[in-house]
Amino acid sequence: MLSYLRGTPAMLIQPIRLLRGYSRAALRADLIAGASVGVVLLPQSLSFSLLAGLPPTMGLYAAIMASVIGALWGSSSHLHSGPTNTASILTLSVLLPIAVPGSPTFIAAAGLIAVMAGIIRLLMGLARLGVLVNFVSDSVAVGFTAGAGILIMSNQIEPMLSLKLQSTSSILDTLRFTTLQIGQTHVPSLLLGLGTINLLLLLPRLQRKLPAVLVSVVSGGAISWGLGMESLGVKVLGELPHGLPPLAALPVLNIGMIGQLANGALALAIIGLVEAVAIARAVAGHSRQRLDSNQEFVGQGLANIAAGLFTGYPCSGSFNRSALSYQSGAQTGLGNAFSGVFVLTSMFVLAPLIGHLPRPVLAGTLVVTAYSMIDHQAMARIWRGARGDTVIMLITLAATLALPLQFAVLIGVLMSLGYYLLKTSAPRVQVVLPDAGFRHWAYQPDKPGCPQLAVVDLLGDLYFGAANHVEDSLYDMLMNCPQQRFLMLRMHSVQQCDISGIRALENILRICRDRGGGMFLVRVREPVVQVMRSIGFIHLLGGDHFLSEDEAVGNLFHHVLDPAICIYECEQRAFRECQDLPKRMLASGTITPEGRGPLPPVPELAARDLWARLRGADPPLVVDVREPREYRQGHIPEALLIPLPNILGGPDGLPHNRAIILVCRSGRRSVRAAAHLVAQGFMNISILKGGMHAWEAASLLEAVEV
C-alpha cells in the first residue's frame, strides 16, 4: 500500500516528465500532427455531440479539454481523447431515462456523469488496476483494429458520395442503403475525395518528410475554393461557435441524480477504459511504444473530469484520430494536445477558413488512415499461429463490424479471458524420460518407461481451475500402469498453488501409498513450498520427499526402488543408473506375487550387531543374494554368494538348523529371499538392515577381489 501511495505523485506530474527534454524537432512534428488531427477533430466533435443529444458547443468544449488533458497525463504518444461515437451513444442511452435530450437537466447530467466516470477512472489508475487490460490480447487488438478500420472506411461513404444515408451501426445496412442510392452520387464530391486519397498515397512516395495529411487537406480545400465546388453542392464543415469553454454549474449536491447516474458512470468508465487502452495498444503495435496502463487510466480520468467541469460530456479514445496522429508523425502526446489548441484557435481565428473545408476531403483522409491501420502482416501471423488466437481475432473482427464498438471490445476481452482460463485449467501433465544422453528430460510417448517409477512434468499452475484436470491425468497414468508404486513430480512450471491443488496432490499421494509406494517432488518453487507448509502438506508428505533434481533418481534408485524388479523383471534401462545394472530375467517373469505390493515384515539385524555376532562363538551363516558382479565389488567376509534367482529356484544345501542372515544392496532383495525361505520351512531367518549400504556406512566394508 505504501508503495502505491509513494507512486501516486509521479503519476500526477506526468506533464513535467513529458516536457523534460522536449526537442525542437519534436515540436515541429507535433504541431503538424496536431493541426492534421485538429482538422478532423472539429467536425467529429460537432457531429458526436449531436449524436449524444447535446448542443454542438458541448462537443467542441469536450474536444478541447479532453484532448489537452488526456495527452498531457496519458502515457501514449498517439492515443487521442475526446468525443467518440461509443461515448456519445453510451451517454445518450444512460441519460435518456433521466431527462429529455437537449433539456437543461439532460445537459447538467451529461457534465456530471463525465466527472463521475472520470473520478472512477482516476481512482482505478491510482490503484494500479491497469493490469486489467492485460486481458486485451494481441488477437483482440488486431481484430478490433481491422474491424474498426473497415467501419471507419464505410462511414466515409456518405460524405464521399454526398448521400443522405439512414443512420445505422451495421456495415451491411450502410452498404445496402448506398446501393439503393448509388445513382444519386454527387460526382464533384466523389472526385474531390478520390483526389485526396490519391494524393495521400502519392506524397509519401515522392517526399516522405512532407506532412501528407495536412498537405492533402489544405490542397483539397484550395482546389475546392479555386473551382467554386461549394457552389456545385460540395458539403463543407459550416460555421463554428465562438467562446472559451465555460465552467459548468454541475448538480454535485443532487444526491438523487448521483444515485441515478452511478451505474451508468461505472459502465462508461470501464467500457471507455477498455476501448481506449485497446486503441492505444493497437497503435502501439505500429509505433513500438511501451505503454503504462495505469498512467493511461489516470489520463483518461482527468480528461473526463476536465471535460465535465468545462461544459463537456464523457469522452474516450478515438481510433481514427489516434491512427491519424500516428500517420501524421506525432512524436509525443503534445501532438494531440495541439489538436485541442487548434480547435480552440479555430473557433476564433480560422473559423471562416475551416468552415469552408470540404467534407469529402476529410473523408478521403480518414479512408487512407483507416486502411493503413489494418495490419495484414499481423493478421497473417495470427492466422498461421495457434487456432485459439485465430478464432479470437476473427470473432472480434466480426463483432466489431456487426455490434456496437464497446460490445465488440468486451466480447474480445471475454474471449481472451475464457481462452486463458481454458488453457490454464488444462495444463499438460506428461510422463518424461531421460534423453539418449541422459542430460535432459523429454516427453517420449513411444519409449517404454520404468515399471516402478513414473516421472511426470506438471506444466502449469495448480489452482482451483486446474486441480481436477491434474488429478484426473495423474490418476489415469497410475491406473494405466498398476505396477508403478512411486511417482516423481517435476514442478518447476508450477508458479501458483492453492488449497484445491494441494487436495489433488493429497489424493494422488493416497493412491501411491495404498500401493505401498510414495510420491516425491522436485524443483518446487518457494511460493508453492510456502503454501504447502502453511497447509500442512509438507508434514503429510515428509520433508525428505522433496528432492534435488540432480540427485533425485539416484536417491530413489539406490534407496527406494526394488532392485529385484530392476534386475529380474525389467528389460528397460530408463535411467542412467540402470545402465550398469545386471539383468537376469526369471523363467516365470516375476519375482513373486509379493513383488507387486508391500513386502512382508522380516527380522532385521543392524550392521554392528551382525559384525559382533560374526565374531562370536556361534556365528550365523551370511548369504549374499546379490549378483556376482555386485559381490565382487565388495562383500561381507565369508559371506556365501547365492543370487536371488538361485534361491527362488530351490535353495539346495542351506542348513535348516543354523541362523541365516540374508544380505543384498539395500535390503529389499533380502526380504524377498526371506519370504521364500520361510515358505520353504526355514525358521531362523533374518536380514541385514539397510543391506550393504548400511554395512559400508558403518565402515565395515572389506573389498574382496575374485
Confidence of residue 586 (pLDDT cuts 50, 70, 90): low
Distance CA 334, CA 338 (A): 6
Q: What is the DSSP letter of 348?
A: I
How confident is the model over 465-524, as pLDDT tens digits?
899 999 999 999 999 988 888 999 999 999 999 999 999 999 999 999 988 889 999 999
In the predicted model, what is the mean pLDDT of the chain?
84
The answer on pLDDT for 1 being more than 50 is no
Domains and CATH numbers, the chain: 24-237+247-416 (no CATH), 428-561 (3.30.750.24), 599-697 (3.40.250.10)
- Torsion angles phi and psi, residue 494, rounded to 5: -90, 105
Mean pLDDT for 250-279 is: 85
Please provide the DSSP assignment of 1-62 as one string.
Answer: -HHHHHHHHHHHTHHHHHHTT--HHHHHHHHHHHHHHHHHHHHHHHHHHHHTTS-HHHHHHH
The type of residue at 73 is W
Q: What is the pLDDT of residue 583?
A: 62
How confident is the model over 19-76, as pLDDT tens digits?
887 888 899 999 999 999 998 888 888 777 876 878 878 999 999 999 999 999 998 9
Please work out, in degrees rounded to the nearest 5, the angle formed at the alpha carbon of residue 42 by the alpha carbons of 41 and 47: 95
How confident is the model over 523-542, as pLDDT tens digits?
999 999 999 999 999 999 99
Q: How many CB atoms lie within 10 A of CB 605?
A: 19
Q: How many CB atoms lie within 10 A of CB 345?
A: 16
Q: Are the CB atoms for 129 and 294 separated by under 8 Å? A: yes
Confidence of residue 702 (pLDDT cuts 50, 70, 90): low
How confident is the model over 352-395, as pLDDT tens digits?
777 777 888 878 877 887 787 687 888 898 898 888 889 988 99
Q: pLDDT over 90 for what percent of the chain?
A: 31
Catalytic residue (choose from 497, 570, 578, 664): 664
Counted residue by residue, the chain has a size of 706
Which run of H or E residues covers position 431? strand 428-434
> Has 664 been annotated as catalytic?
yes
Sheet (strand 604-605) strand order: 604-605, 685-688, 660-663, 621-624, 640-641
Q: Are the CB atoms for 66 and 81 separated by under 8 Å? A: yes
SS3 489: strand
Say which residue the cell 479512408 belongs to.
367
Q: What is the dihedral of CA 541, 545, 549, 553, to 10 degrees?
A: -120
How confident is the model over 603-644, as pLDDT tens digits?
999 999 999 999 888 899 999 998 888 888 889 988 999 988
SS3 617: coil
The answer on pLDDT for 192 being more than 70 is yes
Distance CA 539, CA 338 (A): 65
Distance CA 293, CA 290 (A): 10
How confident is the model over 111-149, as pLDDT tens digits?
999 999 999 999 998 888 777 666 667 787 788 778 877
Say which residue the cell 468486451 belongs to.
410
Confidence of residue 406 (pLDDT cuts 50, 70, 90): low
Mean pLDDT for 554-572 is: 79
Distance CA 407, CA 399 (A): 8
**CA–centroid distance for 68 within its chain:** 33
Distance CA 389, CA 382 (A): 6
The answer on pLDDT for 594 being more than 50 is no
Q: In sequence order, which residues have a C-beta less than 8 Å from that of residue 693 and are 6 or more positions away?
A: 558, 559, 665, 666
Beta bridge partners of 489: 456, 521
Alpha carbon separation from 24 to 19, 196, 329, 331 (Å, rounded): 11, 30, 14, 11
